[in-house]
Amino acid sequence: MSKHDAKPIRTILFVPGSEQEEVLRAAAHGADAIVIDLEEPRTPYSESEREITRQRMRTFFDGPASHAGSPRWFVRVQPPDTGQTLKDLRAVMGPNLAGILLPKVHGPEDVYRLDSLLTCLEVEVDLPLGSTVVYPILETAQSLRLAYEIAVASPRVEYMGGAVSRFGDIHQALGYRWTEEGRETLFLRSKVLVDARAAGIRYPISGMWGGATDDTEGLARWANELRDLGYFGMMLGDPAHVPLVNAIFSPSAEEIAYWQDLDRLATEAEQRGSGPVVYGDPNQGEGHVVHLAHVGSARKNLAWAEDLGLLG
């Protein structure tokens, strides 16, 4: 599978791998994807506790709860420089695992290391080579600077974007002060978006809302800004936010109708061999006279809607 064939993920919900009941409930929340966190499910987290969690994860991924029809299942593992990545991977590899979130990335070499481990394990468990997706999390200054190089480091990298942290690793890396408006991270989210799209990432995903969990107006503003920038989804830590965010990262019926009209008018003009193609009020400027670029945009957006299952 190519990164160009990746399907949109509007909501990617994190659940701690240490909490078995939360993992078992996660599929019912309606998120497009679930991340089971094995890197930092809680603090502190001893090696003995990690081993118990790995055993439970092996049972989970071998069992019916992770089978097809569920959300896409991802796991955040410990990064390769810890020496613990292989232990985490062996606990989750299999046909029901969609991909791996790779934290604490510094550069493309981290993706190379994970790619090699995944190739070996895919052979070990009889999976098609290259079938396990890699989603690098950009939490260091080096990774933010090298986002394009990280995105092209492996064909496995299907998802990436400008993650955001209120007071976590990205704050440590850069020292900004988080605000609800997000001006302090706008450049980061924009820069990584350009890098990801230039590298062929079809549906970039951005980071979490850092405000109060009950501030749904703030969450909606944040998610809408991400969509306006060009993101197609975001990470979530609260299951209650899933329906709102799914809706924001889905095209509206009006948008779909507009794109379908442009596609139809262009197709009819191509069949006639004559133009120009015009649409709507002449006062709307560029949008009135339909050009090839407009048609291309409409058709690309219709492919997005189709990937979401919104076209009849």
Helix 108-124, helix 85-92: angle, nearest 10: 40
| Predicted pLDDT at 51 | 97
- Choices 3.20.20.60, 3.90.1150.10, 3.40.50.300, 2.40.128.20: CATH for 3-248: 3.20.20.60
What is the maximum alpha-carbon separation in the chain?
72
| Predicted pLDDT at 283 | 84
Place of tokens 């006279």: 289
Parallel, antiparallel or unpaired: strands 133-136 and 234-236: unpaired
Rounded Cα gap, residues 136 and 157, in angstroms: 7
CA 188 to chain centre: 16
Task: Kindly calculate the radius of gyration of the chain based on its CA atoms and give it in whole angstroms.
Answer: 21
| Predicted pLDDT at 275 | 84
Rounded Cα gap, residues 74 and 133, in angstroms: 9
| Of 234, 246, 236, 53, the residue nearest 159 (C-alpha) | 234
| Predicted pLDDT at 200 | 97
| Predicted pLDDT at 284 | 74
Rounded Cα gap, residues 45 and 27, in angstroms: 25
Kindly give the parts of the chain with pLDDT less than 70: 1-2, 68, 287
Tens of pLDDT, residue by residue over 52-101, are: 999 999 999 999 988 867 899 999 999 999 999 999 999 999 999 999 99
Contacts of residue 146, defined as CB under 8 A and 6 or more positions apart, other chains included, come to: 107, 108
Q: Where along the chain do its domains lie?
A: 3-248, 253-307
Rounded Cα gap, residues 142 and 160, in angstroms: 15
Rounded Cα gap, residues 32 and 7, in angstroms: 10
